[in-house]
Amino acid sequence: MVAAALRAAHGWDEERIEIVPITTSGDRIQDRPLSEVGGKALWTKELDRCLMDGRTDMSVHSMKDVETIRPPELVIAAMLVREDVCDRLIGAQSLAELPMGARVGTSSPRRSAQLLNRRPDLEIVPIRGNVQTRLAKLERGEADATLLAAAGLNRLGMENIGALIRDMLPAPSQGAIGIEVRADMREIMSLVGAIDHKPTHVCVLAERRLLAGLGGDCHSAVAALATIESGRIRLRAEIMTANGREVVRNEAEFAENDQDAPGALARDLLGRASPALRALFSGET
């Protein structure tokens, strides 16, 4: 997708861009939740090394899997148009249709908390891997249902699989593809900037600033979505305990260039949370 966008923007031929496939630790380790083995850095460290060593000129990331704090030598230079931000439920047409005690496969703290908030009877079972791997696990009966990002399914041409869940806030940055370059490579940054979709970029940065303000980690259950409405950003967010019993929600509306508002929303959420929930994000005990 990024290569096609760059070719279209600059009139390049096929040979101008080389795609370098990189298998990350996150791809290789599929038997444990990411929170147990290093978190989101497992998706980026190999790509970062190639970029810093000059073996690649840019890295393409699913922004949902990029750590909030990045090395200062690297810059997110562009983002493609955001895909559908919703999750799809595979295995039933709605959460209400899942039988009592159904086993739902997910290793996402956010999805686990949201599911248990709505259906405390559900059993959450860890499940990781790519789309095909997760669907195969359902076929083998390892879980009765699972949640997958609609964005990934759509990009694979599988947009008719599962049922859209529109009443759950997504993970911050869900559905967004980002292109990262070295900060000292001005020419590459300029070339990549030609394919930047500013509305997506502005909204995802607001969600990432919220994450920075919360100070959570890969164990923390947080959902957020920024949209542009009438020229202003509307940022909705929620933080949750792992069992979903406590959820603190709020939203803020602010100008596109207001970089402080997401942090203020984060402080508001933490300020209204119980000590137990706040400790999951701020490190308090």
C-alpha–C-alpha distance, residues 272 and 77, integer Å: 35
- The pLDDT of residue 145 is 96
Same domain, yes or no, for 192 and 203?
no
Does residue 281 lie within any of the structural domains?
yes
Range of the domain at 116: 87-165
Number of domains into which the chain is organized:
3
Q: Which of 65, 84, 87, 144 is catalytic?
A: 65
Q: Within this chain, do residues 215 and 226 fall inside the same structural domain, yes or no?
A: yes
CATH number reported for the structural domain that contains residue 2 in this entry: 3.40.190.10
Looking at residues 186-207, what average pLDDT do you find?
97
Q: Domain containing 277 — which CATH number?
A: 3.30.160.40
Asked if 23 and 99 sit in the same domain, the reply is no
Phi, psi of 217 (to 5 degrees): -135, -165
Domain contains 209? yes
**Over 60: is that where the pLDDT of 28 sits?**
no
pLDDT tens profile 211-240: 999 997 777 899 999 999 999 999 999 999
Confidence of residue 40 (pLDDT cuts 50, 70, 90): low
The whole-number average pLDDT for the span 36-51 is 73
Exposed/middle/buried for residue 177 (C-beta within 10 Å: 0-12, 13-18, 19+) = buried
Res 108 pLDDT > 60: yes
Q: Are residues 40 and 116 in the same domain?
A: no
Domain end position, chosen among 122, 143, 165: 165
Query: Does 75 reside within a domain?
Result: yes
Q: pTM score, two decimals?
A: 0.91
* 206 and 238 together in one domain: yes
Q: What is the pLDDT of residue 283?
A: 43
Q: Within a domain: residue 73?
A: yes
What pLDDT is recorded for position 284? 43
Question: Given CA atoms 89, 95, 97, 101 in this order, what sign does their dihedral have?
Answer: positive
Q: Which is nearest to 37 in space by CA: 52, 27, 49? A: 27
Q: Is residue 170 part of a domain?
A: no
275 inside domain: yes
Are residue 38 and residue 73 in the same domain, yes or no?
yes
Residues 210 and 279 in one domain: yes
> Does residue 65 have an active-site annotation?
yes
Question: What distance in Å separates the CA atoms of residue 89 and residue 179, rounded to the nearest whole number?
Answer: 29
| Same domain for 93 and 212 | no
In this structure, is residue 52 part of a structural domain? Answer: yes
Say yes or no: 202 and 285 in one domain. Answer: yes
Same domain, 43 and 180: yes
Residue 35 lies in a domain: yes
The answer to whether residues 209 and 93 belong to one domain is no
Same domain, 285 and 202: yes
